[in-house]
Amino acid sequence: MPNPRLQVSLTPEHLTIIRRLAKHNRTPASKVVAEIIETAAPALSRVLETLDALQHQSDRRKQELRSTLDKAEQKATQAAQEALEFLDDMTEKATDGRRAADRRTRPHVSNRGATPPPRKP
């Protein structure tokens, strides 16, 4: 039985990235997206386990855990930044210094849904 399908909308920039990766790897774009999701799935599963466990915690405990998660996010963002800088250095070497300097920015972090909306009194 084939895997279920899911339709997603991508920004033109993200679609270009996926298509270019697919071309370089000589594979369908859908496989590139599936591999990205497969790579992220273990981390996402852990997030879900944490969110499930948080449902049964007191508000005070949730706040303590949120603070800990914020610190972990900062560390992960720093690690991602360092990885991007490494890749920029590699690109700079491979292209004799072109283009890598244009991309030296902070990584995009998507935490939509990670922090629940504030409760109404």
Q: Per-residue pLDDT tens for 80-96?
A: 899 889 988 888 888 87
CA distance 8 to 11: 10
How confident is the prediction for the chain on average, in pLDDT? 82
* Residue labelled with tokens 């944490």: 50
For the segment 46-91, what is each residue's pLDDT rounded down to a tens digit? Answer: 888 888 888 888 888 888 888 888 888 899 899 989 988 998 888 8
**Domain edges within the chain:** 10-56, 59-106
pLDDT at 38: 93
Supply the DSSP string of 86-100, one letter for each residue.
HHHHHHHHHTTT-SG
* Model pTM above 0.75: no
- SS3 of 59-88: the string is HHHHHHHHHHHHHHHHHHHHHHHHHHHHHH
Q: Which two tokens stand for residue 114?
A: 């990670």
